[in-house]
Amino acid sequence: MRRNSLCGVLLCGAVAAGAQAQVRLDSQIANLADDLVVANRILYSQGVVDGFGHVSARSPVDPGHFFMARSVAPSGVTQSDIMEFDADGKALAGDTRLPYAERFIHSEIYRARPDVMAVVHAHSPAVIGFGITGVPLRPVYHMSGFLGRTTPVFEIRDAVPAAPETDLLVKNPALGAKLAERLGRNAVVLMRGHGFTAVASSVPVAVFRAVYTDQNARIQSEALKLGTPRYLSEEEAALTQRTMEGLSVRSWEMWKKQAGLPP
């Protein structure tokens, strides 16, 4: 009542609407942070990440920002570990916790790809062979149509020709930009002698792609021992992607349960 005496009906209405909008945004961010916690646990439980690897999500409030855990093992990530970063991969003012060294994978992909809302980076052993031999990672079954015709490989030596000897980590914005360039319009980029990065329009679909990139790599490696695989055609890849990614929430719920999380 006291508030009403201080402002006109219209102004008070605007304040109330503003407060409501803020609550909506806060709950959107809380949901996203929760998705990131679940994503970390799933990726660990499914063997895609181990003590290393990370997953991020673009901010629904400020599209130039993104959220990602501080530098901890994915298996133990909780909501309180989630940090917010700006477009340059800098933690928001006041947050002095240690971030992942490779956060520039995420910041530069978000900069280059406005359509990308989530990024997973991992080192799963099954994909490494495809980054180091020149054998292209291609979709072998209906779960991995998002791989399209083939998967690009990021050669870090080509990114820094003047000083090609590195620790292979993408730990500055320039390397992140080169990785994003190699990713192009694809869903997945392999990183020679290191791992891969998968992108998507949501956290659950990014996790779906990361898990099935790993599985495709395992199946393809086995198939290559048996003979010459018959890969999905580009059209089959596109059609299966549309069907299966539309059902990705089913995997998300199942993997969540497998990771020991409540529904």
Q: State the Cα–Cα distance between residues 117 and 3, nearest whole angstrom.
A: 40
Please classify residue 124 by burial: count the beta carbons closer than 10 Å to its beta carbon, then call 0-12 exposed, 13-18 middle and 19+ buried: buried
Is 234 an active-site residue? no
Residue-wise burial string across 14-35, b where 16 or more C-beta atoms lie within 10 A, e elsewhere: eeeeeeeeeeeeeeebeebbeb
Angle (CA) 207 197 235, round 5°:
75
Closest CA to 116 of 41, 24, 179, 53: 179
Sign of the Cα pseudo-torsion (74, 41, 106, 34, in order): negative
Q: State the Cα–Cα distance between residues 224 and 50, nearest whole angstrom.
A: 26
Q: Which candidate in 84, 102, 235, 236 is catalytic? A: 102
Q: State the Cα–Cα distance between residues 175 and 153, nearest whole angstrom.
A: 14
Q: Which residues are catalytic?
A: 102
